Amino acid sequence: MATFPRLKTGAIAQYPIVRQGQFRNQTVRFLDGTEQRYRDSGVARRRWQILLSDLDETELAAMEEFFLLNQGSCGSFAFEDPWDGEVYDDCSLELDDMVVTTVDEMRGLAQVTVVRNR
């Protein structure tokens, strides 16, 4: 299984990093106007917004190669949570596009959002 690429420092992400948890809830409305609510999943869906800056050419190339290998949001990979070190096996990219910006010669930025699929 593929894993999210590390920077040359060994880090997964840089600060600031945003981590969110979200429950998927459903609501059923009955004809008499009452409602019943329930969760689709027992665990929160994790989501990480990762902004990487001051990347060199090698790190940018590794991020682009990883994105192409996963075919955007189609692929699945292992992701280590930068906050607690827990590895989530079934993650994917949220969008089918990745923002890559070249700032200077041999220096750039990359922005991706990783989501846990289960």
Higher-scoring residue by pLDDT: 65, 99: 65
pLDDT of residue 32: 93
* Closest among 64, 23, 63 to 44, alpha carbons compared: 23
pLDDT mean over 36-64: 84
For residues 6 and 91, give the distance between their C-alpha atoms in angstroms, rounded to a whole number.
Answer: 16
- What pLDDT, on a 0 to 100 scale, did the predictor assign at position 5? 87
Rounded-to-integer distance, Cα 118 and Cα 115, Å: 9
pLDDT at 118 over 80: no
pLDDT at residue 70 greater than cutoff 90: no
Residues 4-44 pLDDT 10s: 888 888 888 888 888 888 777 788 999 999 999 887 777 77
Q: What is the mean pLDDT of the chain?
A: 85
pTM of the model: 0.71
